[in-house]
Amino acid sequence: MHWKIRYAVLSLFFLKSVVQTTFVQDVDENGYIMYCPCMGRFGNQADHFLGALAFSKSLNRTLVLPPWVEYRQGELRSHQVPFDTYFKVDELQKFHRVITMHQFMKEFASQIWPPEKRISFCYMERKSLVGKTDQSCHAKEGNPFGPFWDTFNIDFVGSEFFGPLNYDIHHSRMGQKWNEKYPPGKWPVIAFTGAPASFPVQDENRSLQKYLVWSDDITRQAKHFIKNNLPKGSFIGIHLRNGIDWVRACEHIKESPNLFSAPQCLGYRNEKGNATMNMCMQTKDIVLRQLKRHIKSIKEMHKHNEIKSIFVASDSNHLIYDLNEGLQRMQISTFKLNTSNPHVDLAILGMSNHFVGNCISSFSAFVKRERDVKGFPTTFWAFPTEKNTKKLLHEEL
């Protein structure tokens, strides 16, 4: 019996050693990048994510995948939805090392980022919302900042101002400069108050969209809707931004010619013109006129693959009645999801035979990037000017 006990003790010791060794080997000695996706809704967060992914690769640090920050009507605090609810983590691994925030906090944080060493990073002092006078990032003040870090029981004991360093790793030795100032041996985790990326997404980072692959659940829901709700055949996906917040944003279009995601149409230096009100807010007449033109052009070019339906994603008015009435003679019906689900909306738009989006919207920009990497056609409302729209559509198709 004695030798059995001894064998069991040795076995447990050996197992513990293996587990500890494996744990240590799994820790990235090059360090980690962590951040709060605290600006805007999903479209903006997705833009920032691509920049953060490129930034992490440049510094050769593992990117900690943050949950997506969501806001629900009537609730004061944001909700944090795990990253892999919407996207496949293993697809991102094909580009660079990543780990979900839940996994990092559960498995590694206590070892390499204990509570007493948690420092928040920001470019410069962030003014306090509650009247504090200390120089700090105030990383947890406000919504979604507080709820985001609270989700993982993270508090910060200090702040680090990293200016004049920046996130543009494509036009300088910025990645090297970051590593020189913040070596991973001393700074194993760089936790940013906001995303280490610009908005809109830098042109150099747009192609990283190919690594953002929808989860099986989102893909299943999108395909199920297409199969069970849309008439058999080709369909056009359209995105309409017309909620009251968007109406107010579009009022600033004249003094902000590169508003939000406008560079996807106009270029990053407005080399293709300036944004117009019609690009930002479409009237019912513009939508119907442009859809009819697209439908006819597609029919001329692909007689065996005519458009049978329109799928609409919108933040407010889907114009279902108006579109059905306006397209009745063409025998085309219009559809939308019965229950709001913006991620399934995006997946369906990405699968459409043709997509018409909003130049200014980051939601449309997400679809545009996904379709670009797949080689699918996209056009925009009121861009280019109507006399050039038909020519552009032929080039796209």
What CATH number should be reported for the domain holding residue 144? 3.40.50.11340
Note the pLDDT tens digit of each residue in 262-309. Answer: 999 999 999 999 999 999 999 999 999 999 999 999 888 876 678 999
pLDDT at 363: 98
Residues 277 and 372 in one domain: yes
pLDDT at 264: 97
Residue 17 has pLDDT above 50, yes or no: no
Residues 276 and 128 in one domain: no
| The domain boundary residue, chosen from 204, 226, 244 | 204
In a domain? residue 225? yes
Q: What is the mean pLDDT of residues 360-385?
A: 96
- Straight-line distance from the first to the last Cα atom of the chain, in angstroms, rounded to the nearest whole number: 79
Name the band, by pLDDT with cuts 50, 70 and 90, for residue 385: confident
Name the band, by pLDDT with cuts 50, 70 and 90, for residue 101: very high
Identify the H or E element spanning 264: helix 263-266
Residues 227 and 197 in one domain: no
In a domain? residue 271? yes
| The domain boundary residue, chosen from 170, 204, 238 | 204
CB count within 10 Å of CB 302 equals 13
Distance CA 322, CA 34 (A): 46
Residues 181 and 263 in one domain: no
pLDDT at 257: 84
Residue 180's domain spans which residues? 8-204
In a domain? residue 1? no
Residues 181 and 252 in one domain: no
In a domain? residue 210? no
Distance CA 171, CA 348 (A): 36
Residues 108 and 241 in one domain: no
In a domain? residue 129? yes
Residues 181 and 278 in one domain: no
Name the band, by pLDDT with cuts 50, 70 and 90, for residue 386: low
Q: What is the mean pLDDT of residues 13-38?
A: 68
In a domain? residue 301? yes
Residues 177 and 109 in one domain: yes
Residues 230 and 269 in one domain: yes
Residues 25 and 141 in one domain: yes
SS3 299: helix
What CATH number should be reported for the domain holding residue 302? 3.40.50.11350
Structurally, the chain folds into a number of domains equal to 2
Residue 20 has pLDDT above 70, yes or no: no
| The domain boundary residue, chosen from 169, 204, 239 | 204
Residues 190 and 130 in one domain: yes
pLDDT at 14: 43
Sheet of strand 32-35, all strands in order from the earlier edge strand to the far edge: 98-100, 62-65, 32-35, 189-192, 119-122, 158-161
In a domain? residue 3? no
Which amino acid, residue 39? M
Alpha-carbon separation of residue 210 from 316, 368, 380, 394 (angstroms): 29, 12, 21, 25
In a domain? residue 14? yes
Residue 83 has pLDDT above 90, yes or no: yes
pLDDT at 81: 98
Helix locations, 60-195, DSSP H:
89-92, 101-107, 109-112, 145-150, 174-181
Residues 311 and 344 in one domain: yes
